[in-house]
C-alpha cells in the first residue's frame, strides 16, 4: 500500500496533533487487506486480544474474547461491533498498511486494530489519548467528530466503556472504502456502520504519559540501587537549633534524589529498551535450535531473505561511534556495517542476506535467536 495523493509536510504542519482531517481515498489502488471471516477467525484464537460490543438501545455491553466459533451467528438483530487488536502481527497484508505511515517514528507506532460492524454498529461516542488514522476498508461508516475532551469531560456511568455523556458533532462524514479520517488525541468521535460488512482499520500511535514515564523510569532506577547508598554528612557542624532541617541537608537530600533521574544517557537506554519491549509475548519466532554465525554465513550465497517479526519493535539511538539498536527490549551496540544494517532493518520488513553483511552476522544471529528476525524458508526453498 502506498499513498498517491497525500501531502505529508502539509499534514504534519497543519493537522498532526492539532485538528481532525478527512482524507478521501489517498491510495494508489485501495484493496481491503483482510476478509471479515479472517477477522472473526482471529477473534476465536487464544492469545489474540479481541472485544465484542453489542448495542441495545442506548446501552452498550462489552465481551472479551476469545470467542466460540458460533458466537457471531447468534448475535441476532442488535447492532454489534467486533474489535481485534494488533492484527498486523498476524496478517502481512494488514502489516503493510503501516508502511506509508513511516514518516512518523517507529517508536510512536502502536498497532493496527481492525473492527467489523453490523448495520448501525459502533462503540459509542468517546475520545482517545493517542493519534489515530481510521481507514475504511470495506463498506461504509459514518464518522462524527466533536470538540477536544480531557479528564474533566463528563462520562456515562459504564463499568467497561468510557462513553461521553454529551456529544455534539462539529464534523460529519460518511467514509467509503479507501477513505481515511485522522483524529488527534482528545477529540471526541463516534463511528456508526452504514449497511452491512463494515470494516475499519485503526492505526494508533503510542503517547506515554508523564505519570507512566516517571513511575516506570524510577522503578528501574530503584531496582538497580543498593541499600548502602545512603545520606552522609561528614562535614556536619553543631546545630543552631536541633529541630531545624538545615538548608544544606535539604540540598544534599534533594541531590541524592534527583541526580540519577537526570542521567540522560541512562534514561535514553532505558527508554529504548522499555519502549521496544514486545506488547504480545505470544508472537514467538525463536528457532527451536539456536542459529550460529556459521549457519547464516552458509546462506549468504543463496540470496536468503530475513523477515522481521511483525510483533517485534525496532528502534535506534545514534551514538558517537555508531548507534544503539533496540529490538524487543534488548540493546545492541552497532558500528560500521552493523550500524548501516540496523538502520535498514528498522525501516523495512525484510533483509536480503548477502556477503556485504559479513561484519553484521553476529548481530543478525542474535536477532534471529531472540525471535526478532527469521529466515524466510519459502524464499530459501
| Complete domains list, the chain, with CATH | 8-205 (2.60.120.650), 210-230+248-262 (no CATH), 293-380 (3.40.366.30)
Tell which phi-psi region holds residue 377, choosing left (phi > 0), alpha (psi between -120 and 50) or beta.
alpha
How many C-beta atoms lie closer than 10 Å to residue 65's C-beta?
A: 20
* pLDDT at residue 379 in the model: 55
Least confident range of 94-98, 170-174, 373-377: 373-377
User: Can you state the percent helix, strand and coil of the chain, rounding each to 5?
Assistant: 30, 30, 45
Q: Does the pLDDT at position 380 exceed 60?
A: no
* pLDDT at residue 354 in the model: 86
Residues constituting the chain: 381
Percent of the chain at pLDDT exceeding 70: 98
More reliable by pLDDT, 151 or 381: 151
What does the pLDDT look like over 188-205, one tens digit per residue?
999 999 999 999 999 999
* pLDDT at residue 278 in the model: 86
pLDDT averaged over every residue in the chain:
92
What does the pLDDT look like over 299-353, one tens digit per residue?
887 788 999 998 899 999 999 999 999 999 999 999 999 999 999 999 988 999 8
Please name which of 139, 144, 100 lies closest in space to residue 124, comparing C-alpha atoms. Answer: 144
Confidence of residue 280 (pLDDT cuts 50, 70, 90): confident
Per-residue CA distances from 101 to 87, 97, 110, 179, 312 (Å): 16, 8, 12, 15, 17
More reliable by pLDDT, 91 or 378: 91
* pTM of the predicted structure, to 2 decimals: 0.89
Q: Does the pLDDT at position 122 exceed 70?
A: yes
What does the pLDDT look like over 14-61, one tens digit per residue?
999 999 999 999 998 999 999 999 999 999 999 899 999 999 888 889
Cα gap 118→58, rounded to integer Å: 16
* pLDDT at residue 73 in the model: 83
Please name which of 29, 33, 177 lies closest in space to residue 91, comparing C-alpha atoms. Answer: 33
Residue 30 half-sphere exposure, CB side, CA atoms within 13 Å? 17
Burial class from Cβ neighbours inside 10 Å (0-12, 13-18, 19+) for residue 163 reads middle
* pLDDT average, residue stretch 225-247: 91
Cα gap 319→335, rounded to integer Å: 9
* pLDDT at residue 281 in the model: 67
Please name which of 172, 257, 244 lies closest in space to residue 214, comparing C-alpha atoms. Answer: 257
Amino acid at each position: 500500500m502506498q499513498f498517491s495523493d497525500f501531502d505529508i509536510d502539509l499534514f504534519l504542519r497543519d493537522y498532526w496533533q492539532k485538528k481532525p482531517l478527512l482524507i478521501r481515498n489517498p491510495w494508489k489502488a485501495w484493496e481491503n487487506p483482510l476478509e471479515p471471516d479472517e477477522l472473526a477467525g482471529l477473534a476465536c484464537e487464544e492469545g489474540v486480544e479481541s472485544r465484542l460490543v453489542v448495542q441495545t438501545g442506548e446501552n452498550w455491553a462489552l465481551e472479551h474474547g476469545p470467542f466460540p466459533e458460533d458466537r457471531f451467528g447468534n448475535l441476532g438483530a442488535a447492532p454489534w461491533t467486533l474489535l481485534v487488536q494488533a492484527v498486523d502481527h498476524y496478517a502481512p497484508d494488514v502489516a503493510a498498511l503501516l508502511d506509508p505511515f513511516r514518516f512518523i517514528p517507529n517508536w510512536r507506532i502502536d498497532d493496527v486494530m481492525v473492527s467489523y460492524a453490523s448495520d448501525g454498529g459502533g462503540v459509542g461516542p468517546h475520545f482517545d489519548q493517542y493519534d489515530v488514522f481510521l481507514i475504511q476498508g470495506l463498506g461504509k461508516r459514518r464518522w462524527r467528530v466533536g470538540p477536544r475532551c480531557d479528564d474533566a469531560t463528563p462520562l456515562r456511568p459504564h463499568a467497561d466503556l468510557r462513553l461521553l455523556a454529551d456529544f455534539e458533532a462539529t464534523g460529519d462524514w460518511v467514509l467509503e472504502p479507501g477513505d481515511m479520517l485522522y483524529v488527534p488525541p482528545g477529540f471526541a468521535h463516534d463511528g456508526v456502520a452504514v449497511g452491512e460488512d463494515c470494516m475499519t482499520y485503526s492505526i494508533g500511535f503510542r503517547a506515554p504519559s508523564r505519570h507512566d514515564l516517571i513511575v516506570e523510569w524510577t522503578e528501574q532506577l530503584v531496582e538497580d540501587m543498593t541499600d548502602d547508598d545512603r545520606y552522609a554528612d561528614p562535614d556536619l557542624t553543631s546545630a543552631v537549633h536541633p529541630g531545624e532541617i538545615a538548608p544544606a541537608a535539604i540540598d544534599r537530600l534533594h541531590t541524592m534524589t534527583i541526580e540519577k533521574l537526570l542521567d540522560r544517557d541512562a534514561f535514553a537506554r532505558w527508554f529504548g529498551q522499555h519502549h521496544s519491549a514486545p506488547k504480545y509475548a505470544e508472537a514467538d519466532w525463536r528457532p527451536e535450535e539456536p542459529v550460529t554465525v556459521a549457519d547464516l554465513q552458509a546462506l549468504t550465497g543463496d540470496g536468503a531473505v530475513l523477515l522481521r517479526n511483525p510483533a517485534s519493535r525496532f528502534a535506534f539511538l545514534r551514538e558517537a561511534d555508531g548507534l544503539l539498536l533496540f529490538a524487543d527490549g534488548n540493546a545492541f551496540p552497532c558500528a560500521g556495517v552493523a550500524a548501516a544494517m540496523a538502520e535498514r532493518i528498522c525501516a523495512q520488513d525484510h533483509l536480503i542476506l548477502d556477503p556485504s553483511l559479513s561484519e553484521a552476522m553476529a548481530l543478525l544471529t542474535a536477532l534471529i535467536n531472540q525471535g526478532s528476525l527469521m529466515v524466510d524458508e519459502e524464499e530459501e526453498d
